[in-house]
């Protein structure tokens, strides 16, 4: 009997380890031989811990499970109160286009043979059979853009590094996923770490890079452990190391751990941090592609960009480009979070509307109260009111509406949300996390908190000042931290102005 119990951090945070222990104990009490596989998460996080049992019809899902629910699995699974039917028939799962996350939750994440049996390494083999220029062409033709939030075309970045004269060259994976509402990087690193390693190795072949780093935030201990184990396994198997699967080029990969600085998710600040410096932002140019880690040509890509690469190389650029709309091609792993009924990871082609994501897929709020606002793209993303629900999920469309796709995390807030409080939080967060390099961010964020406090105290004259300050931060900051903090602030102000105006005294 095969039983899957996720080892994903979200599942563990909801008691998956205790459930796995209880399954083993119950099986022993009943004298039944079970094989418990600790898989990644299928992404239906409201059902975690989601236990799956192998049946002739397919894998049956049960969730959310507690140790007390385990005995029932061995008695009458079909009528178990937590039975969800076949995992892949659950509506949330079935309507996805899972390319990047195809294997996440399906297999033991550290089983390289299972990885290969499920299509793993096919992309790397395709890349090994071609010259670097052809690999770069393929990625460029796919239309893949940086999934970390900036949306810069991945192929163009790779081409710059390929043609850079200096050596050595580096591949740096940005796994400093600090945005609230985002957990796709974490899920992929925990649930399918070889996919990221394969994507980075393809990037190395495409650009001539011989060393790579994955910079993971320290708040992700499970992902760090999993990636370290996977790198060791891949190195022993000869996938990476002195030679990439027999190729003359080698690729050494190292896992590095951040130290709790949000700004290190910005690529130049991440590079400084990797070099052992304060995570201060660098002015661009020079581009990291030409002068990155240790002043050498460096590809810096987000986990999701790199993890999309193996599929593109295995199935061809056209197949990827066929999905999506406009200049947003391929799939985007949406992370639906906050006050939402069906929270989780939903990978789909670009173009789905915000309203469909929140109300149909997410099922509305967890509290049952009406949705008030949805923050898209992390702490630097705009708050979208329900009137924005027709907006298609695409880079340009969100930018046109004063927002951003970011890392595709969505945080739903219900009617109880305090928009002035959330705007103040955005400024406060920027003040705490500012690296201090540029004035608009370092000083502006502190003044922003003070100005919002004046607004809260009923001083209407502070509002024009706030708008002016936001404008300065937007145009004058060196990176997205100071430059985008105005997005949540101004969107809250624009869409919920009544919460920023002085309360009328009852006596008036």
Cβ 76 to another protein, closest distance in Å? Answer: 27
Cβ 38 to another protein, closest distance in Å? Answer: 15
Cβ 180 to another protein, closest distance in Å? Answer: 3
Cβ closest to another protein, residue 129 vs residue 294: 294
- The Cα–Cα gap between 18 and 421 comes to 38
Which residue, among 354, 353, 361, 409, has the nearest Cα to 381 in the 3D structure? Answer: 409
Cβ 121 to another protein, closest distance in Å? Answer: 27
Q: Which of 379, 448, 482, 486 binds another protein (CB under 8 A)?
A: 379
**In this structure, are residues 434 and 443 in contact, taking their beta carbons and an 8 Å threshold?**
no
Q: Which of 9, 394, 456, 481 binds another protein (CB under 8 A)?
A: 9
Is residue 344 close enough to count as binding another protein by CB under 8 A? Answer: yes
Is residue 288 close enough to count as binding another protein by CB under 8 A? Answer: no
Cβ closest to another protein, residue 138 vs residue 176: 176
Cβ closest to another protein, residue 236 vs residue 415: 415
- The Cα–Cα gap between 262 and 174 comes to 12
Cβ 96 to another protein, closest distance in Å? Answer: 15
Run of H or E residues at 233: helix 221-236
Q: Which of 65, 414, 456, 499 binds another protein (CB under 8 A)?
A: 414
Backbone angles phi, psi at 438, to 5 degrees: -110, 145
Cα torsion for 284, 289, 292, 295, to the nearest 10°?
A: -100
State both tokens at 68: 């007390």
Site string for another protein, 420-459 (x = CB under 8 A): --x--x---x---x-x------------------------
**In this structure, are residues 210 and 169 in contact, taking their beta carbons and an 8 Å threshold?**
yes
- The Cα–Cα gap between 306 and 204 comes to 11
- Write out the binding residues for another protein, residues 180-199 only, by CB under 8 A: 180-183, 185-186
- Write out the binding residues for another protein, residues 290-309 only, by CB under 8 A: 293-294
- The Cα–Cα gap between 124 and 26 comes to 42
DSSP of 145-183: B-TTTT--BHHHHHHHHHH---S--EEEEEE---STT--
Which residue, among 243, 242, 272, 244, has the nearest Cα to 256 in the 3D structure? Answer: 272
Is residue 220 close enough to count as binding another protein by CB under 8 A? Answer: yes
Strands 211-216, 252-257: pairing kind? parallel
Site string for another protein, 55-94 (x = CB under 8 A): ----------------------------------------
**In this structure, are residues 12 and 50 in contact, taking their beta carbons and an 8 Å threshold?**
no
Is residue 278 close enough to count as binding another protein by CB under 8 A? Answer: yes
Is residue 113 close enough to count as binding another protein by CB under 8 A? Answer: no
Cβ 135 to another protein, closest distance in Å? Answer: 26
Cβ 173 to another protein, closest distance in Å? Answer: 15
**In this structure, are residues 269 and 282 in contact, taking their beta carbons and an 8 Å threshold?**
yes
DSSP of 378-397: STTSPEEEGGGTT-BS-HHH
- The Cα–Cα gap between 93 and 82 comes to 17
Q: Which of 39, 154, 273, 477 binds another protein (CB under 8 A)?
A: 273
Is residue 489 close enough to count as binding another protein by CB under 8 A? Answer: no
Site string for another protein, 320-339 (x = CB under 8 A): ---------------xxxxx
| Contact footprint for another protein (CB under 8 A) | 9-10, 12-14, 45-46, 48, 177-183, 185-186, 211, 218-222, 256-262, 273-280, 293-294, 335-340, 343-344, 366, 375, 379, 409, 411-414, 417, 422, 425, 429, 433, 435
């Amino acid at each position: 009997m095969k039983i899957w119990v996720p080892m994903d951090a979200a599942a563990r945070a909801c008691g998956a380890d205790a459930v796995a222990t209880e399954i083993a104990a119950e099986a022993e009490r009943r004298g039944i031989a079970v094989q418990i596989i600790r898989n990644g998460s299928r992404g239906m996080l409201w059902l975690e811990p989601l236990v799956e049992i192998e049946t002739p019809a397919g894998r049956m899902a049960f969730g959310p499970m507690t140790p007390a629910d385990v005995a029932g699995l061995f008695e009458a699974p079909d009528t178990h109160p937590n039975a969800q039917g076949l995992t892949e028939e659950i509506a949330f799962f079935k309507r996805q286009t899972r390319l990047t996350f195809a294997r996440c939750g399906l297999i033991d994440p550290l089983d390289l043979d299972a990885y290969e049996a499920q299509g793993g390494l096919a992309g790397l083999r395709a890349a090994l059979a071609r010259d670097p220029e052809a690999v770069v062409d393929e990625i460029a033709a796919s239309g893949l853009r940086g999934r970390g939030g900036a949306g810069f075309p991945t192929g163009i970045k790779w081409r710059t590094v390929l043609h850079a004269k200096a050596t050595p060259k580096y591949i740096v994976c940005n796994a400093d996923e600090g945005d609230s509402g985002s957990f796709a990087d974490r899920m992929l690193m925990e649930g399918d770490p070889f996919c990221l390693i394969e994507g980075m190795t393809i990037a190395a072949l495409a650009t001539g890079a011989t060393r790579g780093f994955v910079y993971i935030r320290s708040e992700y201990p499970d992902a760090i452990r999993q990636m370290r184990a996977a790198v060791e396994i891949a190195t022993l198997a000869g996938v990476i190391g002195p030679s990439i699967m027999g190729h003359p080029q080698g690729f050494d990969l190292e896992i590095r751990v951040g130290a709790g600085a949000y700004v290190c998710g910005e690529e130049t600040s991440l590079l400084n941090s990797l070099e052992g410096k304060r995570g201060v932002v660098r002015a661009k140019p020079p581009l990291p592609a030409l002068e990155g880690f240790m002043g050498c040509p460096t590809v810096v890509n987000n986990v999701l960009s790199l993890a999309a690469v193996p599929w593109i190389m295995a199935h061809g650029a056209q197949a990827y480009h066929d999905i999506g709309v406009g200049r947003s091609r391929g799939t985007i792993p949406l992370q639906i979070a906050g006050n939402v009924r069906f929270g989780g990871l939903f990978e789909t082609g670009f173009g789905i509307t915000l309203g469909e994501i929140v109300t149909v897929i997410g099922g509305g709020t967890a509290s049952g109260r009406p949705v008030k606002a949805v923050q898209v793209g992390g702490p630097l993303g705009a708050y979208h009111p329900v009137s924005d629900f027709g907006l298609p999920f695409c880079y340009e469309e969100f930018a046109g509406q004063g927002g951003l796709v970011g890392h595709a995390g969505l945080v739903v807030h219900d009617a109880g949300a305090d928009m002035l409080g959330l705007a103040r939080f955005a400024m406060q967060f920027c003040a705490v996390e500012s690296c201090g390099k540029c004035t608009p961010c370092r000083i502006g964020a502190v003044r922003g908190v003070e100005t919002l406090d004046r607004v809260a105290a009923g001083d209407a004259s502070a509002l024009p000042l706030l708008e002016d300050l936001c404008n300065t931060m937007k145009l004058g900051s060196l990176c997205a931290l100071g430059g985008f903090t105005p997005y949540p602030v101004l969107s809250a102000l624009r869409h919920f102005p009544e919460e920023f105006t002085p309360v009328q005294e009852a006596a008036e």
